Amino acid sequence: MKLKSNFKYIATPAKVFMTVLIVLVAVSILQGIILEIERTFRLSATIKPKAELTQEEKRLNRIRNSAKEFLPDGTIHLVYNLGYTPTRMGLPAREQIYDVNDDLLWEGPSDKRPFEYLSWAKQLRRYRDGFTREQMKQTQMITTEFSQNVRIPVRSDNKTEQIWRYHPGAKFFKGYNTSGEKIGYAGSTGFTDSKSKVKPFEEFRLFTAWCSQDSSNPTLLWQTQRHIYQIDFEKQQVKLIFENTEADIEIEGTSLHAWRDLKPGEKEYVDRRKYRPLLHCVTEDGKHHLLMRNPGRQLTITIPKAWQGWVNHYHRFTATKQGIFLSRTWTEFRKAPDYLQTREVLDRLLSDYQSKDKQRHVELYRLGTDGSLDLLTGYTWIVPARTGPVVRARDPRSAVQRGVAQFSSPLYDLAVRLLGRKFWLWAYSSRNMGDFFYSLARMIMDIQPYGGVINRILSALMMVFVFLHGWPRRTSWAKFAFWLVFAGLFNLAGLLTYLALNHTAVVKCPVCGRRRGLARFDCVRCRAELPAPERGKLDLILST
Amino acid sequence: MRFSALLRKELRECLPWMLLAAIVFLALGGFFLRVEIHYRNPSWYYSRLSPGTIVESSLFTYYSILGIMGPLLLLSSIGLGLVLGIRHFWIPNFTRTWPFLLHRSVSRKTILAAKLTATMIAFVISLGPVWIGLYWYACRPEVFPIPQTPRVFIEGWIFIMLGLVTYLGTALSGLNTAKWYTTKIFGLVFAALVIFTIFPQCSLVWIFTVIAVSAAILLSRIFDTFLRREF
């Protein structure tokens, strides 16, 4: 008996928790289905053919969509890609080249282009040539085929001779030969044959790999929190190529140009006779670091304060044999310094941005030996305001999304508020895609009620329903009050949980004639006791 | 003594299913592993590496050679959990043998403890040794040069534990007297939710926490229902 009562105190909350969890998931799945259907219809509505543009609108569109390229002397050309046509599939796309006065200079297939523009360091892209911290985390994800690991092969005569496996927990590589014997370890100080001598790398951030022209074994550029290494497993070398003791290196800021020794024809190939190998990275203190070879040099550039705070602002670097150049692209629309403090400020900024015409600029600078910037040339064009309605509501989501979210628990709002800025910034960042908590956070952001009045009214209605349903069935005031509050806090999910756990049949009270639950001994209204069954003639037990 | 007698009785009932799960997992797992060892050639895998090219990062991510057995282990484990849950808690409803079991001079707690212990033993001795054996085999250098990571071994045990969670969910659903389309199914739904929550996780600590908490929730509800319910 004692065990039974003890279990009650654990089992009852467990029952409520389990039920509300299942119902919350079921309600959110239903909301998700409605939102996906709405999204599908919204997308198909947006790809309807638009009204015919005027000649001037077409011209502005073309300018906006053209790539702004620089000749080595600083002349700017606008390169407009006409795209592929079904009859020319497989052939290079056609393009038109205009000067800054909008005079057509040339038209033809892109591979026959008569101009050679400056090429720029490119950021390492996820999946193609960059392997990020998020991807490393995903290798640890448990799947039906277990987790994965990162292995680097060393080959000889088309045969794999060694495999170096990265251990994310220990932060070093462990090497094996084809007989399964351990051949050594690779860490931040180099290769060693003993575990006690290996010094781990810092927290992993990013790597990219390539095979140089004289080898079919990969070389790795390995970026950690504050260091960048180049690892050659074939020669068993770990070379420190960049170190910053003051601030962390930004994950998405690292770009390369002519750094990798690639063969002509490879997509990222850059002619090293014209360009110097360049590695560009950005540290979290806002400084840009350029590492060059032939001859080796390191340059740190502090971006002027006046350049900061503009929307869609980015820099690209290149180093030719003649000099080092910076291309700056920015939109004349200022971000408030605190635009990432709250979601409301960010949403307002986005809506303001969409509703106005903006000037966009591209500029070319030459870098001095001391990191000074000398403006060579620039070009400006207009980015028109977004056509169609710009949502200016407190809750910027579509009407269907707002409607669906009204049935969500108000606790989602509280959770988002308590988790704070870091949470929604994390949830907005697409680089977290693939993470379980990212999907969960996005779902909560999609269905949170956003403090809607209708949501509060619906919660109140759920409480009224629970009150009307629970009054004749109540067995204790505490329980009755708990379920009222519960329905208010969880909205539709709260009501369904309440019904799942509390619904009982009611009977008519023989004294007052009103409904009463079967779980009580007396009537909640007239206090009359439940009548005892009358003795019947065939009632053998009671009559003896 | 009474507990051990009950335990023997439950183990006798579990035995055919234990053997079936072990044989299926050993036979199919062994076969898949042999095929995988035969066809997975690291030299071929890395033949895309050529001088002067960028290497796609996906080439370096590598599933364990035991990965081929993951779905099989998971299915065997969940299947065993379902079958034992049905055998222990659903079948007596249909055969009307609950009163026969409960009339003995042992407490309900002992009966339930015997069932749960028998199930844990069944999982550990049917799938556990086969998994250990296959892992040990795959780690031998003459079979595959790179030893498997200890993490893969732990993940195999996580799959076995998911079978236990399925068993607990099935047991709770079996004990519930509500209609199957209402709250009766919640035990199984909860177990399914736990399995879906585990899969996209990276942290082993988090995974063990989720399994432990969900097992505690299900166990507390099973004990409460079993001790209170009228059979």
Cα separation of A206 and B23, whole Å? Answer: 44
Span B50-54, average pLDDT? 90
> Shortest CB distance from A153 goes to which of B42, B66, B201?
B42
What is the per-residue pLDDT for A544? 47
- C-alpha distance from residue A198 to each of A170, A194, A204, A223 (Å): 10, 7, 16, 18
Q: Are A279 and A319 in contact (CB under 8 A)?
A: no
Does A2 lie at the interface with B, CB-CB under 8 angstroms? Answer: no
Cα separation of A521 and A357, whole Å? Answer: 73
Paired residues of A374 in beta bridges: A366
Nearest CA in chain B to A25: B193
Nearest CA in chain B to A19: B186
What is the per-residue pLDDT for A351? 80
SS3 of residue B223 by DSSP: helix
Interface test with A, best of B37, B47, B54 (most A CBs within 10 A): B54
What is the per-residue pLDDT for A421? 77
Which amino acid is it at A439?
A: S
Minimum distance, in Å, between the CA of residue B40 and any CA atom of chain A: 13
Report residue B200's pLDDT band, with 50, 70 and 90 as the boundaries. Answer: confident
Nearest CA in chain B to A164: B146
Residues 6 or more apart whose CB falls under 8 angstroms from that of A462 comprise: A487, A488, A491, A492, A494, A495
Does A139 lie at the interface with B, CB-CB under 8 angstroms? Answer: yes
DSSP conformation class of B148: P
Paired residues of A368 in beta bridges: none
pLDDT by residue (tens digit) across B5-19?
Answer: 999 999 999 999 999
Nearest CA in chain B to A1: B227
DSSP letter for each residue of A403-430: HHHTTS-THHHHHHHHHHHHHHHHHH-G
Q: Are B145 and B34 in contact (CB under 8 A)?
A: no
Cα separation of A201 and A233, whole Å? Answer: 15
- The candidate with the shortest Cα–Cα distance to A369, out of A324, A433, A302, is A324
CB contact under 8 A, B51 and A212: yes
CB contact under 8 A, A10 and B61: no
Does A129 lie at the interface with B, CB-CB under 8 angstroms? Answer: yes
Report residue B1's pLDDT band, with 50, 70 and 90 as the boundaries. Answer: low
SS3 of residue A332 by DSSP: strand
Radius of gyration of chain B (CA): 21
What is the per-residue pLDDT for A92? 73
Angle, helices B2-39/B128-139, rounded to nearest 10 degrees: 30
Q: Which residues of B touch A215 (CB under 8 A)?
A: 51
Cα separation of B1 and B65, whole Å? Answer: 46
CB contact under 8 A, A215 and B201: no
Cα separation of A58 and A73, whole Å? Answer: 30
pLDDT by residue (tens digit) across B130-140?
Answer: 999 999 999 98
What is the per-residue pLDDT for B4? 92
- C-alpha distance from residue A14 to each of A407, A467, B83, B218 (Å): 24, 23, 25, 8
What is the per-residue pLDDT for A541? 58
Q: Are A446 and A35 in contact (CB under 8 A)?
A: yes
Strands A131-132 and A278-282 turn out to be unpaired
Cα separation of A428 and B191, whole Å? Answer: 31
Return mean pLDDT, chain B. Answer: 91
pTM: 0.86
SS3 of residue A223 by DSSP: strand
Interface test with B, best of A21, A146, A210, A268 (most B CBs within 10 A): A146
Using the Cα atoms of residue A53, residue A58, residue A64 and residue A66 in order, give the sign of their dihedral: positive
Domain ranges of chain B: 2-228
Angle, helices B150-175/B128-139, rounded to nearest 10 degrees: 160
CB contact under 8 A, A262 and B224: no
More confident of the two residues A292 and B58: A292
A168: exposed, middle or buried (Cβ count in 10 Å: 0-12, 13-18, 19+): middle
Cα separation of A520 and A529, whole Å? Answer: 9
Paired residues of B197 in beta bridges: none
Phi, psi of A309, rounded to the nearest 5 degrees? 95, 0
Paired residues of A166 in beta bridges: A173
ω before B92 within 30° of 0 (cis)? no
Residues 6 or more apart whose CB falls under 8 angstroms from that of A478 comprise: none
The complex scores an ipTM of 0.91
Cα separation of A440 and A446, whole Å? Answer: 10
Cα separation of B206 and B195, whole Å? Answer: 13
What is the per-residue pLDDT for A126? 62
Q: Which of A49-63, A397-411, B41-55, B201-215 has the highest mean pLDDT?
A: B201-215
What is the per-residue pLDDT for A118? 95
Nearest CA in chain B to A151: B60
DSSP letter for each residue of B63-98: E-GGGGGHHHHHHHHHHHHHHHHIIIIIHHHHHT-H
Using the Cα atoms of residue A3, residue A6, residue A12 and residue A15 in order, give the sign of their dihedral: negative
DSSP conformation class of A356: S
What is the per-residue pLDDT for A429? 77
CB contact under 8 A, A17 and B217: yes
SS3 of residue A281 by DSSP: strand
Vertex A160, ends A159 and A161: CA angle to 5°?
105
Which amino acid is it at B121?
A: I
Span B36-62, average pLDDT? 81
Phi, psi of A226, rounded to the nearest 5 degrees? -130, 10
Per-residue pLDDT of chain A (544 residues; tens, 9 = 90+): 555 667 778 899 999 999 999 999 999 999 999 998 988 887 777 666 667 888 888 898 899 999 999 999 999 999 999 876 655 556 778 899 999 999 999 999 888 899 999 999 998 876 567 898 888 988 999 999 999 999 999 988 878 889 999 999 999 999 999 888 899 999 999 999 999 999 999 999 999 999 999 898 999 999 999 999 999 999 999 999 999 999 999 887 899 999 999 999 888 899 999 999 999 999 998 899 999 998 889 999 988 888 988 988 889 999 999 899 999 999 999 887 777 777 777 777 888 888 888 999 999 999 988 888 999 999 999 988 876 655 555 666 788 888 999 999 999 989 888 888 778 778 777 777 777 788 888 888 889 988 889 999 999 999 999 999 998 888 889 999 999 999 999 999 999 999 999 988 888 888 888 887 777 777 877 877 776 666 666 666 555 4
